[in-house]
C-alpha cells in the first residue's frame, strides 16, 4: 500500500480521536461546587471585581480543558479567557481546549484531503487554503450560534421588561420581580436570569450580578436596560415606569428592524442568486463536459482563473453582506 495513503489514514484517525476526546472531556476539579462557592467568600481576594479593573475573577477557577496540562497551558494566554466567555455567550457546553481540538482537527483533515490525489504544488496550495477554511469554520459556527442566541434574548427582553415592571407595580422588589419573570420566560433568557439570581443569592451584590449578566450576554438592548436600572438606583425614580418606557423603545426598534428586513429581503435573495449562479453553472459544466472543465485544474492559466473567480466571489459576498448590515 502507498505510504502516503497510510499516513493520511493515520492523520484522519488522529483528528477524529482528538475531536471525540475534546467533546467528551471532563473537568479535573475534585469539587466544582466548592470551587464556585469559593468565589463568593467574604475575603477581599474572592470578591467580584468590577468590569473596568481588567482582572477577571473567573480566570483562576475556570478549567479550559479536561486535560490538566492543556488547561494549565491555555491559562497562560489572555485570549483563552475571552474565548471561554465567547463560548458562554454562544450557549455552547464546550471548553476552550475542546474548541481548539476541533479547529485543529478539521484543519488537519482538510489539509490532507487534496493530498490523496497526489503530492504536487497545486495540491499543497489547495490543502493550505482548505486548512485555513477548516480552522475558521468552527469559529464561524460559534459566532453564528452567539448571534442567534443574542437575537433570541433581544426578542424576549420586551416581554421580560413587561413582567418585571408589572411585578414592581404590585409591590415586589427588583430581584423578586426578576425571579417571578424567570419562571414565566423560556430559555435562553430564563437561564441567564436564574444564573444572575443564583449569584446574588450566593452573596454577590445586585449591581455585580447584573453587571455579570451584561458581560455574559453582550447585548446592546440588555445594556440599555441595565443602564436604566443603575441610573434609577443612583438618582431614584419610578423604576416600573422607566422599564415601561425602555420596553416601548425596544418594541419600536424591533418594529423598525422587521420593516428593514422586509424591504431588504428581495435584495438579499438577488445576492444569493447572483452569487450562487457561477457555482451552479460550474457544477453543471463539470457534469456535462468534465474534460473541457479539467483545463481549470491542469493548465496554469486555468488555475489562475479559478483562483481569481473564488476571490471575486468572496469579495462580492462580503460586499453584499456589508451593504445589507443596517444598524438600528
- Summarize pLDDT for 91-114 with one digit per residue, the tens: 888 888 888 888 888 888 888 888
What are the grid coordinates assigned to 92, written together? 455552547
Q: Residue 23's pLDDT is what?
A: 44
Q: Exposed, middle or buried by CB within 10 Å (0-12, 13-18, 19+), for 126?
A: buried
Whether 175 has a pLDDT exceeding 70, the answer reads yes
Average pLDDT value for residue range 128-154: 88
pLDDT tier, 43 (very low <50, low <70, confident <90, very high otherwise): very low
Reference 153, options 238, 89, 96; nearest CA is 89
- What is the residue-averaged pLDDT of the chain? 77
Average pLDDT value for residue range 174-192: 86
Q: Residue 124's pLDDT is what?
A: 83
Rounded CA gap, 174 and 80, in Å? 34
Average pLDDT value for residue range 181-207: 86
Rounded CA gap, 217 and 225, in Å? 12
Between 8-17, 168-177, 254-263, 285-294, the lowest mean confidence (pLDDT) is in 8-17
Whether 220 has a pLDDT exceeding 70, the answer reads yes
pLDDT tier, 81 (very low <50, low <70, confident <90, very high otherwise): confident
Average pLDDT value for residue range 172-191: 86
Alpha helices in the chain (DSSP H): 3-23, 32-38, 68-74, 78-90, 96-112, 121-169, 174-184, 189-201, 206-217, 220-235, 239-288, 290-293, 295-298, 300-324
Average pLDDT value for residue range 281-287: 87
Q: What is the DSSP letter of 57?
A: T
Whether 222 has a pLDDT exceeding 70, the answer reads yes
Chain segment 44-68, per-residue pLDDT in tens: 333 333 444 434 343 345 677 777 7
What are the grid coordinates assigned to 266, written together? 428581495
Average pLDDT value for residue range 125-152: 87
Amino acid at each position: 500500500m502507498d505510504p502516503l495513503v497510510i499516513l493520511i489514514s493515520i492523520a484522519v484517525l488522529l483528528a477524529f480521536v482528538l475531536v471525540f476526546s475534546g467533546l467528551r472531556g471532563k473537568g479535573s476539579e475534585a469539587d466544582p461546587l466548592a470551587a464556585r462557592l469559593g468565589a463568593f467568600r467574604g475575603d477581599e481576594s474572592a470578591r467580584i471585581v468590577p468590569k473596568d479593573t481588567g482582572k477577571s475573577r473567573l480566570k483562576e477557577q475556570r478549567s479550559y480543558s479536561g486535560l490538566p496540562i492543556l488547561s494549565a497551558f491555555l491559562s497562560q494566554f489572555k485570549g483563552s479567557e475571552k474565548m471561554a466567555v465567547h463560548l458562554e455567550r454562544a450557549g455552547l457546553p464546550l471548553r476552550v481546549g475542546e474548541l481548539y481540538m476541533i479547529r485543529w482537527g478539521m484543519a488537519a483533515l482538510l489539509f490532507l484531503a487534496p493530498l490523496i490525489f497526489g503530492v504536487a504544488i497545486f495540491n499543497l496550495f489547495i490543502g493550505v487554503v482548505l486548512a485555513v477554511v477548516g480552522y475558521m469554520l468552527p469559529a464561524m459556527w460559534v459566532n453564528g450560534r452567539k448571534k442567534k442566541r443574542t437575537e433570541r434574548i433581544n426578542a424576549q427582553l420586551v416581554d421580560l421588561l413587561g413582567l418585571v415592571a408589572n411585578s414592581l407595580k404590585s409591590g415586589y422588589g427588583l430581584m423578586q420581580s426578576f425571579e417571578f419573570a424567570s419562571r414565566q420566560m423560556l430559555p435562553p433568557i430564563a437561564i441567564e436570569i436564574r444564573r444572575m439570581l443564583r449569584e446574588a443569592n450566593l452573596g454577590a451584590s445586585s449591581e455585580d450580578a447584573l453587571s455579570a449578566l451584561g458581560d455574559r450576554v453582550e447585548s446592546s438592548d440588555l445594556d440599555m436596560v441595565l443602564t436604566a436600572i443603575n441610573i434609577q438606583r443612583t438618582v431614584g425614580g419610578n423604576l416600573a415606569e422607566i422599564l415601561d418606557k425602555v420596553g416601548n423603545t425596544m418594541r419600536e426598534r424591533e418594529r423598525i428592524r422587521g420593516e428593514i428586513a422586509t424591504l431588504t429581503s428581495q435584495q438579499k435573495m438577488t445576492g444569493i442568486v447572483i452569487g450562487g449562479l457561477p457555482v451552479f453553472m460550474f457544477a453543471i459544466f463539470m457534469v456535462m463536459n468534465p474534460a473541457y472543465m479539467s483545463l481549470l485544474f491542469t493548465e496554469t492559466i486555468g488555475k489562475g482563473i479559478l483562483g481569481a473567480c473564488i476571490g471575486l466571489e468572496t469579495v462580492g459576498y462580503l460586499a453584499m453582506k456589508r451593504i445589507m448590515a443596517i444598524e438600528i
